[in-house]
Amino acid sequence: MVEAYCVKCKAKREVKDPQQVKLKNGKPAVQGICPNCGTKLFRIGASLA
């Protein structure tokens, strides 16, 4: 599972409903939702394995 930092919770959380995205510069990233507060999480450079 992919972990990302939640700004609202101020802690690392596992990403709920992770989606693989690609940035404008071609780098991979993962986007999802915080399971605790529902805030959008984003992790640059990560990939779903």
Over the stretch 5-49, which tens digit does the pLDDT of each residue have? 999 999 999 999 999 999 999 999 999 999 999 999 999 998 886
Model pLDDT, residue 1: 82
Model pLDDT, residue 46: 82
Regarding pTM above 0.85, the answer is no
Distances (CA, A) of 13 to 7, 25, 42, 44: 10, 26, 11, 15
Model pLDDT, residue 40: 96
Report the alpha-carbon distance of residue 39 to residue 48 in Å, rounded: 20
Model pLDDT, residue 14: 95
Model pLDDT, residue 17: 94
